[in-house]
Every structure is written in C-alpha cells, then in structure tokens.
C-alpha cells in the first residue's frame, strides 16, 4: 500500500533521445506494444476505461505510458549514492516488475491509499491516476515490492507517528517497498540516461520528500540552508555550507515557504516546488505534489496561509483563515477541528524576532505575534510585535535573520540588528530550508 503523500514548456534543449515526462507529450502506443503490456501484466483493461492507445485522459493510456517508461528507461552503472543498494537490478526493471505482478486493475475502495497490492494483484486508485508520470511509475515499483512479502509497520516519525496506520519501513536496508521506490528515483536522477531533465528533477523531489518520513531509522542527514529570492524573482540563491549557489525558481507570483523537502513558491492557492540540488535547465512549473502542500488541491480561496512543519518527530500541516486555524487530521485523511483565533490573522511565520527557536508564529493584522503549539493546539501571545519594515524573519544557526522591505538582510546580534555579512545582494524573499545528504548540491 502506498499512502498519500503541470507545466509550461519554454526551454528547448531537450536531448532527442530523452523520453517525455508529460502524458500529453507521449505519442500513441503501438498496438502490439500495448497488447504485450496487457498480457505481461494481466491488465484488466476495462477497469481502466477500455483500450486507449493515444488519449492520456483515459487511465489505460496513463498505465501504458508508465510501462513504457519502465521498459525503455536506461541507466548507467550504479555509483555511490546512498539510496542505491542494488535491491532491483538497474538493467531489468521491466522484467522484475513482470515477475512480481499477477494482475493490475483500477479501483477506489481503500480511501487513504494511492494503490495497494493484494497477493500480487495491484489496484491502482484515484491517487495514482492524479499523480505525475514519475509519481505513477514510483507507485507501481513500490507495489511490486509488496509481492515479495515486504510489509510496512507503524511510523515512529512523520504525520502518522503515534497512530495505528502502518505506513513505514523499519529502515532503508530492509529493502522494502519504500526502499525500492527511492532506489528507482535515485537511479533516474543520478544515473538515468534517457529521462527528461524535469522527470529527473521530480525524482529528486520525490526521493527527498518521501525518505524523510517513511523510514523509522532515518537514512538522510539534514542541514539548514538559507534560500533567498533575487529582487527580480528570476532566480533563487541558496546559501549552503558557506557558499551562494544559483537555483532556478518557478516564475510565478507568491511567497517563498519552507517545506519538508525544501521550499515552494505559494500564491495562496497553488504551490510550486523549488528543487535545491540541481538546475534542470527548464522553467517548467512543477506543482508541489511532494510535500503536504498537495492537500491544497481540496482547498478554497478563504485560505490565507498554510504551513507544513515538524515539531519533535511529528509532522504537522495547518491552514489559516481570517479567524481560525485548522490542523490536518492525517489518520482520518481530512481536515480536523477548527481552532478559533482570538485576533484577525495576517500571515504565518516560522520565526519571530527575539525567538531563537523555529515554531509556528501567527501575525495579527495589528502586528501582534502569537505562537501555536500543535501538540495541544494552544495559542499564546508572545508579547512580541512584527516590525513595520520587516518582510520576513527566519532562524539560521540559532540567529534571527530579517529581510527588510527594502531588500536588505539584517542579522540579530547582541547589539541589535546589523547587516548580515553573508548577504551579497538585495532580495525579495527569504526562508530557511532543510538540505538533505541524499543528493549532492551541484553548483551549476
């Protein structure tokens, strides 16, 4: 079982032999190939909407695209990436999949699952159909591993910590469904030979986003970095290990927000992923289907802000409206009970000037700063106020950094706010982000 966890084509430096990553860019499947896939995987074509070779609105064609990506994807020999353990032979995904699959059907009878495996028979659910090509292929690889008897246990971290949901693997070396899925993503990113650069970017996002919650013994180490948006919003600058590195950013209006995998640009309704490890060379917008910003799909326009954050080992998601805050109830798969706010809400911040700890801070329209404690859902007035010339406040290495409305970054010191010595430019936005050691941060 796999639990829940668009684009504009601008640049044209795609290698001719690269496979597409958007369903709409796949050509029609050859009938002979489709019939072979149906036979190899015992696909219940009718349950997917009947045979369809061209139109990816029909789920059958989505599945055919997934199998084509699995059959035709090519990899260089495995290197030293920490996700790659040789669970599945890199040269043989298609035949391995075929050997682990007794049948595939389309259904929707387990509401909290993307897909599930019952005795080698896979049921692909609505969650699968909504995913990107990359997410769908990862789901199929994940399900195939369950046929070998690999199962999940209760989670000791993440959104399902403390619940009875069995969604996690003991550790990475168990080589369970999560491990095999991550290994595929890492191979695509690091050793993939004929995958679209945006498919590779999505693979890094998926690997980072899922591996930081689904292993009870963590596989990744994390460090803090600063991510700032240039004044013209044309690029992001990542300050990591004492160096500034340029990163491509989605060219949309919105606020830079921290997420569990890194950061997004959030316009109040939609969130687009910022990928920290490697530029793809493409400006395609990648919707955040990786962190729990994906819950926004069900949202309405009364949402004023949204945060995904960890407190201790547990992950939380909250949305804020003008006079209330609502936490997400993960085990029940729905928004929980509203918490009334004793003030008019303006915006959320992960930091407050004068507090060296990150948290969820709620700023009122009159500038008062409140703190929300997710464990007991209490809201307390910090007694602090938001500076009129402050745009963003973050915590980096135990120190507050403040982005001023004029684009300068100041640091909080014993003698007050002083220009931050590492800042090289003027900026329009600022967050701290986690950087994980699953992938190298490549300079250009």
Q: Closer CB to Zn ion, residue 128 or residue 372?
A: 128
Reduce the DSSP state of residue 243 to 3 states and report it: strand
Residue 64 C-beta: closest distance to Zn ion, Å: 23
Determine contact, residues 277/204, Cβ cutoff 8 Å: yes
Give first-to-last CA distance, the chain, whole Å. Answer: 38
Q: Closer CB to Zn ion, residue 2 or residue 391?
A: 2
- The Cα–Cα gap between 76 and 187 comes to 8
Residue 74 C-beta: closest distance to Zn ion, Å: 27
Q: Closer CB to Zn ion, residue 1 or residue 104?
A: 1
Element of type H or E holding 230: strand 222-230
Determine contact, residues 400/414, Cβ cutoff 8 Å: no
Residue 327 C-beta: closest distance to Zn ion, Å: 25
Strands (E), 312-436: 314-320, 324-329, 334-335, 339-340, 345-349, 360-364, 368-373, 378-385, 390-396, 399-404, 409-413, 416-419, 427-436
CA 281 to the chain's CA centroid: 20
Sign of CA dihedral 106, 8, 281, 435: negative
Structure-block tokens of residue 113: 């699952």
Residue 166 C-beta: closest distance to Zn ion, Å: 9
C-alpha distance from residue 190 to each of 56, 90, 143, 202 (Å): 28, 12, 23, 12
Structure-block tokens of residue 202: 């999505």
Q: Closer CB to Zn ion, residue 1 or residue 341?
A: 1
- The Cα–Cα gap between 306 and 283 comes to 25
Residue 101 C-beta: closest distance to Zn ion, Å: 15
Q: Closer CB to Zn ion, residue 2 or residue 257?
A: 2
Residue 109 C-beta: closest distance to Zn ion, Å: 16
Q: Closer CB to Zn ion, residue 1 or residue 401?
A: 1
Residue 3 C-beta: closest distance to Zn ion, Å: 7
Q: Closer CB to Zn ion, residue 151 or residue 343?
A: 151
Residue 296 C-beta: closest distance to Zn ion, Å: 24
User: If you search the block for the tokens 């992950």, which residue do you land on?
Assistant: 315
Q: Closer CB to Zn ion, residue 4 or residue 335?
A: 4
User: If you search the block for the tokens 């060296």, which residue do you land on?
Assistant: 356
C-alpha distance from residue 433 to each of 5, 148, 426, 442 (Å): 20, 37, 19, 16
Q: Closer CB to Zn ion, residue 1 or residue 84?
A: 1
Q: Which residues bind Zn ion (CB under 5 A)?
A: 1-2, 177
Residue 218 C-beta: closest distance to Zn ion, Å: 19
């Amino acid at each position: 079982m796999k639990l829940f966890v668009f684009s504009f084509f601008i640049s044209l430096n795609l290698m001719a032999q690269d496979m597409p990553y958007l369903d709409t860019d796949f050509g029609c499947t050859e009938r002979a190939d489709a019939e072979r896939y149906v036979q190899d995987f015992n696909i219940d074509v009718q349950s997917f909407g009947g045979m369809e070779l061209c139109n990816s609105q029909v789920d059958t064609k989505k599945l055919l695209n997934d199998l084509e990506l699995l059959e035709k994807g090519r990899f260089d020999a495995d290197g030293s990436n920490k996700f790659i353990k040789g669970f599945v032979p890199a040269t043989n995904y298609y035949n391995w999949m075929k050997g682990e699959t007794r049948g595939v059907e389309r259904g929707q009878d387990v509401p909290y699952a993307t897909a599930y495996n019952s005795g080698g028979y896979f049921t692909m659910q609505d969650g699968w159909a909504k995913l990107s090509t990359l997410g769908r292929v990862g789901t199929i690889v994940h399900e195939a591993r369950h046929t070998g008897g690999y199962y999940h246990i209760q989670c000791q971290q993440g959104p399902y910590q403390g619940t009875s949901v069995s969604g996690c693997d003991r550790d990475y070396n168990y080589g369970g469904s999560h491990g095999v899925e991550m290994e595929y993503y890492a191979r695509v990113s690091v050793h993939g030979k004929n995958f679209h650069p945006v498919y590779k970017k999505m693979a890094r996002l998926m690997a980072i986003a899922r591996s930081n919650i689904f292993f009870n013994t963590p596989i990744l180490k994390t460090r803090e970095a600063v991510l700032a948006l240039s004044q013209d919003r044309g690029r992001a600058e990542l300050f990591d290990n004492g160096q500034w590195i340029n990163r491509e950013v989605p060219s949309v209006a919105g606020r830079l927000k921290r997420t569990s995998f890194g950061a997004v640009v959030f316009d109040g309704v939609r969130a687009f992923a910022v990928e920290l490890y490697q530029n793809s060379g493409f400006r395609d917008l990648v919707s955040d289907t990786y962190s729990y910003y994906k819950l926004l799909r069900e949202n309405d326009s009364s949402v004023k802000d949204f945060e995904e954050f960890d407190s201790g080992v547990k992950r939380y998601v909250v949305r804020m409206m003008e006079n209330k805050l609502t936490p997400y109830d993960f085990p029940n798969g729905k928004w929980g009970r509203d918490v009334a706010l004793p003030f008019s809400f303006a915006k959320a911040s992960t930091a407050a000037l004068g507090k060296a700890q990150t948290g969820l801070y709620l700023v009122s329209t009159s500038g008062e700063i409140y703190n929300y404690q997710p464990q007991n859902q209490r809201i307390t007035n910090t007694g602090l106020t938001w500076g009129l010339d402050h745009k963003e406040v973050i915590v980096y290495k135990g120190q507050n950094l403040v982005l001023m409305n004029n684009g300068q970054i100041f640091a909080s010191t014993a003698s007050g706010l002083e220009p931050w010595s590492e800042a090289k430019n003027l900026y329009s936005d600022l967050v701290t982000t986690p950087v994980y050691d699953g992938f190298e941060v490549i300079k250009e």
